[in-house]
Structure 1
């Protein structure tokens, strides 16, 4: 009887998935892929001249790939797909590169960002002071402002949160204090204690006349929110847009997801970090053991950059021109007590600048004593491998903290393929025994750190909308390092013996998946 009940429940579960919006969209996408693949074989059998023309195009595509600018790893993966899957591979490549929607978003975002640069001016006094303190960081400040428009700030306080629980408590306090506006931009929102509590506060604030806007990613919330959840929020008086909403048509736009986590309150407080709005992030539920994550709150002038990032994404999604100066606070006259330097930065997949990776490179390359890293994923290109191993071989202590309980088995399998090369070069790898590390932090030499959303994988470094904040000479950097050391006590150090004892099948799977890592 129990067996029959189990089978019945399983059948109902399968039926529910098949006929859900996810199942229907997946089925339609599969049908389109099958049509594309089937058309190739139809051409080969019945229209050989056209098929031969596509083969010629394939050769040109490979030549174009090899000679085009960009990361060599992406080129290698595409060449591999084109050669292993003739015709089908080149059609997919042309499909992803020639979509008008992608070009339209890229051009629109470039115009928006150009228009907003006038609101984020560089403070030459702050940069000049940094030059006297640490010239190398002035070079980073110059890059972030000249290339992508993010200035350096002096009059900004920082509060670091070592877990989601402490950030959640601070969020509730600051949200309840809101008088003018609340902006939220998150990759994942899931109904539960955390989001329901925040939503109750937002509804009360709307009733008080506070302007509330919410952005969330269509892919990140695909399985966590109802299809038209934005309409539910709008019915409550909350303005809402979905970034990259999934459609039942083949498109590469969903490949560029809004992975940012930004909360701005009245232009006074700005939050970022790895923590999404879901119960696992505050350890209210257990998904992969203890969820280790981090975030930071910024108070002062640097919040203007986070406000601008949000409004740019809102304008891109809504298509309506924004009034930025309405939400930005004027710079303070004179200096407050010394509180270090903060440079919030955003990263997009459309500006030909790998901002998150450049910040990481800068921290590694200019470390004098140590670089300590927390990351949930480790899928590296050759440049990052070279940078990490060179620092370690130069006598810098390089420690990478990874989860022991992964959320994605395939990403974990690929990460393991880098362990031996890194450990052999002297890089120390630790795994967090109690569960999953979702934090994305770099901290160095007790004076430099970055907290943000950028994972050490191809998606985080190249394909997603991301954000973070570079922090220098601020007392809170020591708290970030203290948290790293406290967390390290609950980790175990991965040895070469442990790496060599891995299951042969898992090693093989990891190596095969690594070939496709840039597209994962």
Structure 2
């Protein structure tokens, strides 16, 4: 009996040792540029048996190198070549845009091989869900050919039900309606509502549906995008999900402050492109990139704003959004106005901010005073000491929860999108940002930032240093795990 027991223990030891060695090598090879994350995972698997492996395989594997994302990237690249053929006759060259915005020419050129740039756009800032949904519902009702929606959070509450009824109405009128929702973020979208839409002809699919057998592979890689495209010429993108929490005229437990964009013009084609990539991947359909989705309106003038749509995720070759933000911060010469609900940056982003201030640029950072997660609150605040020491001005929004994700560079170029300033948005989630090269637009967004400062309190560096020791300690402990957040 003891002999068989010894054999079993011996086999378990060999198997565990083999798994430990294999996982160690895998961590070292997959995280070659992120040493802090590498160290955390190595400590976890060596010091915390079983738990360490679960943490790594749930959060740490590099999905860019895995088959499912590689297949999506190949499909995306093939479809991208199709849309470039459609677009090439009506677009200006990158050199034209660089001449127009010489200071930010490096940012324009950064992903010019992927982005379909156009300066024929009208862009409107929408403050909070009240403004967004009023505009969106009107535009949805005017749709003639198709409606495409892609949301991280879509709930079956008052505003969600109103949008769903419009989608059903338009579908019954013969408009093609396609609806893509994240399986985790939209977990409160009721099955009854989904069936109601399907019965009315709405095509609806979850993005990365979660099942017991794929839970660890998919739980950490979510579609955080919020995209609407109507008839290929009107697009919406920004931070506002479909939930009553974003509509302040609907009574909820908090005031929500967020920013969204309505875009009319050629850059909507890039939002369309991203939607179709995600749709074809999730639905396993193969919608053609034809003129019904990219209508020929070459003679129409929408506006003068140059807009670049930047998408990133586990399927992209690089962390595109992170690189675009780092480039923009480096090229700005005077000022950066930054709003984010979650600030858990990696070292490169943190150092770029500090370098900006130390080189004479004015940097203002607006974050919530009250968070929806105590862990994120303490982790975010653990970065404040280094920023305050460098000279970054930090403001905490008091009126409610600020969920906007915006940056204004020198009041000339602005970013509005879905990406938070954390590792999850930079490396794990599917995100999309719009970069708007337009001084008038940027001035308006800067004024909205200044309005928000009136509902905020500025952190005094000396007072901050004297905050309770227990909060300091907890923050420093959580900061060790920031690369995983």
Check conservation: 1:216, 1:241, Cα contact below 8 A.
Answer: yes
Output the TM-score relative to the length of structure 2.
0.91
Output the TM-score relative to the length of structure 1.
0.85
Task: Return the match for 1:469 from 434, 448, 452.
Answer: 434
Alignment correspondent of 1:320: 285
Q: Larger helix proportion, structure 1 or 2?
A: 1
Which shifted more, 317-326 or 85-94?
Answer: 85-94
Alignment correspondent of 1:133: 100
Does the C-alpha gap of structure 1 residues 67 and 404 become closer, same or farther in structure 2, counting only changes over 3 Å? same
Alignment correspondent of 2:45: 82
Check conservation: 2:106, 2:327, Cα contact below 8 A.
Answer: no
Check conservation: 1:339, 1:474, Cα contact below 8 A.
Answer: no
Offset from partner CA, 1:353-375 (integer Å, 9 cap, x none) = 11111121122111111000110
Alignment correspondent of 1:207: 172
Alignment correspondent of 2:212: 248
Does the C-alpha gap of structure 1 residues 394 and 88 become closer, same or farther in structure 2, counting only changes over 3 Å? same
Q: Residue 152 of structure 1: CA displacement?
A: 1.1
The SS at the match of 2:118 is: coil
Q: Residue 444 of structure 1: CA displacement?
A: 1.2
Q: Residue 262 of structure 1: CA displacement?
A: 0.3
Alignment correspondent of 1:34: none
For 1:64 and 1:102, locate their aligned partners in 2 and report how far apart those are by CA, in whole Å. Answer: 11
For 1:131 and 1:378, locate their aligned partners in 2 and report how far apart those are by CA, in whole Å. Answer: 31
Does the C-alpha gap of structure 1 residues 204 and 474 become closer, same or farther in structure 2, counting only changes over 3 Å? farther
For 2:465 and 2:159, locate their aligned partners in 1 and report how far apart those are by CA, in whole Å. Answer: 42
Does the alignment pair 1:239 with 2:206? Answer: no
Task: Provide the aligned C-alpha RMSD in A.
Answer: 2.7
- Unmatched 5+ stretches in structure 2: none
Check conservation: 1:245, 1:254, Cα contact below 8 A.
Answer: no
Does the C-alpha gap of structure 1 residues 95 and 481 become closer, same or farther in structure 2, counting only changes over 3 Å? closer
For 1:113 and 1:396, locate their aligned partners in 2 and report how far apart those are by CA, in whole Å. Answer: 38
What are the equivalent positions in structure 2 for 1:477-496 lying under 5 Å apart?
Answer: 477-496=442-461
- Length, aligned pairs only: 476
Does the C-alpha gap of structure 1 residues 492 and 153 become closer, same or farther in structure 2, counting only changes over 3 Å? same
Which shifted more, 337-346 or 268-277?
Answer: 337-346
Does the C-alpha gap of structure 1 residues 510 and 232 become closer, same or farther in structure 2, counting only changes over 3 Å? farther
What are the equivalent positions in structure 2 for 1:153-172 lying under 5 Å apart?
Answer: 153-172=118-137
- Unmatched 5+ stretches in structure 1: 1-42
Check conservation: 2:183, 2:209, Cα contact below 8 A.
Answer: yes
Structure 1 consecutive aligned stretches of length 4 or more whose deviation exceeds 6 Å: 95-102
For 1:330 and 1:189, locate their aligned partners in 2 and report how far apart those are by CA, in whole Å. Answer: 28
Q: Residue 271 of structure 1: CA displacement?
A: 0.3
Alignment correspondent of 2:481: 516
Does the alignment pair 1:444 with 2:405? Answer: no
For 2:294 and 2:184, locate their aligned partners in 1 and report how far apart those are by CA, in whole Å. Answer: 33
Alignment correspondent of 2:421: 456
